[in-house]
Amino acid sequence: MKMDEPPRSQGSQGGEEEGEKSFVVPRPFSLVAELTYQCPLRCPYCSNPLDYGSSEYKRELGTEDWLRVFSQARQMGVLQLGLSGGEPLLRKDLELLVEKATDLGLYTTLVTAGTILTLERAKRLREAGLDHVQISIQDSRAAESDRIAGIKSFDKKIAAAKLVKELGFALTLNFVLHRHNLDRIEEILELAEVLEADRVELANTQYYGWALQNRNALIPTREQLVKAEQAVMNAQKRRKMPMGILYVIPDYYAEYPKPCMSGWGQRTLVVAPNGNALPCQAAGVIPNLELFNIKEYSLEWIWFESPTFNRFRGTDWMLEPCRSCERREVDWGGCRCQAFLLSQDASATDPVCHLSPNHHQIVTVREGVGEEVVSFAYRQFNS
């Protein structure tokens, strides 16, 4: 249904008649606005698409498009807005976007690498109403952080974190964990305490996109993970961070998958820089998944009615062993993108699950960890 047509009633899984609903579609809680895929950094685990520099993504949404999306999202009940990328600070209209989102009553978070945050910009964003800043740091040590980022950037990130605190924003520090920094988890947590972070996100690398290309260079050993998890538990007991430490478990060493995005199309909407709306940042890798653009369709229709958001909602789409599994509404069968990338079938059980017929692929990778020394394939666009 195009934007000039009236929105339909909400609440059913696509194509079902009233009274035959097997899954009541919840309202979205958060919107991730990927404002641009441009970024000065080149992280080898970047979650942006491999073809992020293609003409497809160079046509970025304009200010009015984003403001319409924010307004539609708020009308649907969205409370949290993540302004993400790429590097969202590259958008010259960021202050205006924040101001309007704040006026709508959205809680706004800027997710940034921090390298181009100036005092003037930070003040303007504060005046516009920005609530929360998340800064990604690659390691506790400058040389190592710069090596992963692919450019010299650590000192600027530290300066940005200090600025964020000085201006009174809530500060989260994001660290992506892998073989090359897990042994410094205590130093990483100490750095977060020194910088007075309100919250820390320690996310073990998820192997999609660039990270999948770099999997052999990034995947840690079980011994590294055991030590790191103990260090995280110790730090959690010290309770230095008011909003806590979020530790995202490593898929490849887990028995069961995570409930990816809290379930497909159940909590979060992602809008890519070109306006395509997706249930998660990586969903574009799934073939034959028709994507709908906010320039042509209302966000409400995309969320409630589009085949994209209904494709893997609930449990009706599941195959065995998920279909009859008692955990099917706990983890929702895991990640659809990972299922496709590892088994070439987006409807399959996530191979991370030990019950998946494709789980041997995970075991093979796990057992081979550390055998090869591999250099990074840094994020770059090869046209």
Binding of residue 379 to ligand SF4 (CB under 6 A): yes
User: Can you tell me which of 279, 314, 333, 351 binds ligand SF4, judged by CB under 6 A?
Assistant: 333
Question: In angstroms, rounded to a whole number, what is the distance separating the alpha carbons of residues 317 and 99?
Answer: 40
Vertex 139, ends 135 and 143: CA angle to 5°? 115
Question: CB-based burial of residue 168 (10 Å sphere; 0-12 exposed, 13-18 middle, 19+ buried)?
Answer: exposed
Tell me, letter by letter, the H, E, C secondary structure of 313-342: CCCCCCCCCCCCCCCCCCCCCCCHHHHHHH
The candidate with the shortest Cα–Cα distance to 167, out of 128, 137, 201, is 128
Binding of residue 25 to ligand SF4 (CB under 6 A): no
User: Can you tell me which of 29, 107, 256, 317 binds ligand SF4, judged by CB under 6 A?
Assistant: 256
User: Can you tell me which of 35, 170, 282, 322 binds ligand SF4, judged by CB under 6 A?
Assistant: 322
Q: Which residues, other chains included, contact 363 with Cβ-Cβ below 8 Å and sequence gap of 6+?
A: none
Binding of residue 353 to ligand SF4 (CB under 6 A): yes
Binding of residue 12 to ligand SF4 (CB under 6 A): no
The candidate with the shortest Cα–Cα distance to 279, out of 290, 266, 295, is 266
Report the nearest approach of ligand SF4 to the CB of residue 333 (Å).
5
Categorise residue 239: left if φ over 0, alpha if ψ from -120 to 50, beta otherwise. Answer: left
Binding of residue 44 to ligand SF4 (CB under 6 A): no
Binding of residue 43 to ligand SF4 (CB under 6 A): yes
Report the nearest approach of ligand SF4 to the CB of residue 84 (Å).
8
Site map 114..153 versus ligand SF4, x via CB under 6 A: ----------------------x-----------------
Report the nearest approach of ligand SF4 to the CB of residue 105 (Å).
28
Question: In angstroms, rounded to a whole number, what is the distance separating the alpha carbons of residues 233 and 248?
Answer: 13
Binding of residue 228 to ligand SF4 (CB under 6 A): no
Binding of residue 41 to ligand SF4 (CB under 6 A): yes
Q: Please give the helix or strand (H or E) that residue 56 lies within, else none.
A: helix 55-58
* Residue 211 or 299 with smaller CB distance to ligand SF4: 211
Question: In angstroms, rounded to a whole number, what is the distance separating the alpha carbons of residues 325 and 28?
Answer: 26
Report the nearest approach of ligand SF4 to the CB of residue 9 (Å).
30
Cis peptide bond N-terminal to 265, omega within 30: no
Please report, as residue ranges, which positions from 63 to 102 form the binding site for ligand SF4 (by CB under 6 A): 85-87
Question: In angstroms, rounded to a whole number, what is the distance separating the alpha carbons of residues 379 and 46?
Answer: 7
User: Can you tell me which of 90, 327, 361, 365 binds ligand SF4, judged by CB under 6 A?
Assistant: 327
User: Can you tell me which of 141, 328, 365, 366 binds ligand SF4, judged by CB under 6 A?
Assistant: 328
Tell me which residues touch ligand SF4 (CB under 6 A).
39, 41-43, 46, 48, 85-87, 113, 136, 256-257, 321-322, 325, 327-328, 331, 333-334, 349-350, 353, 355, 379
